């Protein structure tokens, strides 16, 4: 089941419907395990961010001159971390950043079946975070997905990191996933005009 994240990835990376399932009751198929390998520091070539990435996760970079957009996907393609870093037009308040994060997720994922979003909460590192859920329909089977997203403004840049995994693995894999997410740092500085 390698296709579980690709529809979502397109929404999250490239820009800032439910179906009727068969009536017979069937057990939800288990998703392939999200696999975490040995970790090393990933420094983006822009100098705008770094994080501790499992070496077996694949990196796809679709960045432009004014925005960094990187997806990091586990070997089974069932877990993904998407990072976006860009220079905003001004400094935002924490409340504004929280609304930006909610609007971003609603815009990208709001059309997915079962999409719900939590309230943004301040994190110990100063960022804002929230959870979201949705159902991903793959080959006629609906898979429950769970995600967490975080936003922060540092050094004149806005950094956003999003984690998505199948809900059936979330509790078991949360420690390794959060080690990667919590290692995210906006390391660059916005260019001077």
pLDDT digits (tens, 9 = 90+) for 119-144: 999 998 889 999 999 998 888 888 99
Q: Where are the domains of the chain?
A: 6-15+38-186
pLDDT digits (tens, 9 = 90+) for 11-35: 444 333 222 323 333 455 678 899 9
The predicted model scores a pTM of: 0.84
**C-alpha 101: how far from its chain's center?**
11
Per CATH, the homologous superfamily of domain 6-15+38-186 is Mog1/PsbP, alpha/beta/alpha sandwich (3.40.1000.10)
Distance CA 10, CA 14 (A): 6
What are φ and ψ of residue 41, in 5° steps? -75, 130
């Amino acid at each position: 089941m390698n296709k579980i994240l690709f529809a979502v990835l397109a929404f999250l990376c490239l820009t800032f419907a439910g179906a009727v399932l068969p009536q017979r009751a069937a057990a939800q198929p288990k998703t392939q395990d999200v696999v975490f390998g040995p970790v090393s520091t990933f420094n983006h070539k822009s100098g705008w961010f770094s994080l501790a990435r499992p070496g077996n996760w694949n990196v796809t970079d679709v960045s432009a001159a004014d925005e960094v957009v990187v997806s990091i996907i586990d070997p089974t393609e069932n877990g993904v971390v998407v990072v976006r870093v860009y220079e905003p037009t001004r400094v935002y308040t924490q409340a504004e950043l929280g609304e930006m994060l909610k609007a971003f997720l609603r815009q990208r994922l709001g059309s997915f079946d079962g999409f719900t979003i939590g309230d943004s909460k301040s994190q110990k590192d100063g960022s804002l975070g929230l959870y979201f859920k949705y159902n991903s329909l793959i080959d006629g089977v609906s898979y429950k997905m769970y995600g967490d997203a975080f936003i922060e403004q540092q050094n004149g840049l806005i950094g956003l990191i999003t984690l998505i995994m199948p809900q059936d693995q979330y509790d078991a894999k949360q420690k390794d996933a959060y080690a990667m997410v919590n290692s995210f740092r906006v390391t660059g500085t916005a260019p001077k005009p």
